[in-house]
Amino acid sequence: MSAPRRPTDPSGLERYYVLTGGRSGPGGSASTLDVATLVVSRAVPLPGMQHEHEEILRRCREPLSVAELGAHLDLPFNILAVLLSDLLQAGRVEARDPIPAHDAGRGPDLALLEEVLSGLERL
């Protein structure tokens, strides 16, 4: 006779708890992350790293937004932010604003918007 099966957690909350070590939110510089923040690896995965940390480092060899990364890893934003916080604190990834600071106050490029509008009108 087999042992009774333990019920699974369909919400994934147990998995998320384990992934984050029970932390509910990022700390430090990761608290300013948003879905448009670009993440880029600054190191290669090390043997024995948590699988999700390895995946983040592999996928972010080229800049990738937090939203895209979450979709690839099938993780909610707050869980991913905790994992990114670990990597940011260790200096293994870098977080970049999607718009360079020197361009942030300038607004959209009007020439580009006119080109897009012209292209849409030709459709």
Confidence bin at 47 (pLDDT 50/70/90): very high
- pTM over 0.75? The answer is no
Q: What is the mean pLDDT of residues 27-47?
A: 84
Concatenated DSSP letters of 20-79:
HTT--S--GGGGG--TT-EEEESSPPPTT--HHHHHHHHHTTS-EEHHHHHHHHT--HHH
Residues found in the chain = 123
Given a contact cutoff of 8 angstroms between Cβ atoms, the answer to whether 81 and 33 are in contact is yes
Q: 8 pLDDT exceeds 70?
A: no
Q: Is the pLDDT of residue 108 over 80?
A: no
The H or E element spanning position 94 is: strand 93-96
Amino acid making up residue 118: S
pLDDT at 2 over 90: no
- Give the C-alpha separation, 114 to 3, whole Å: 68
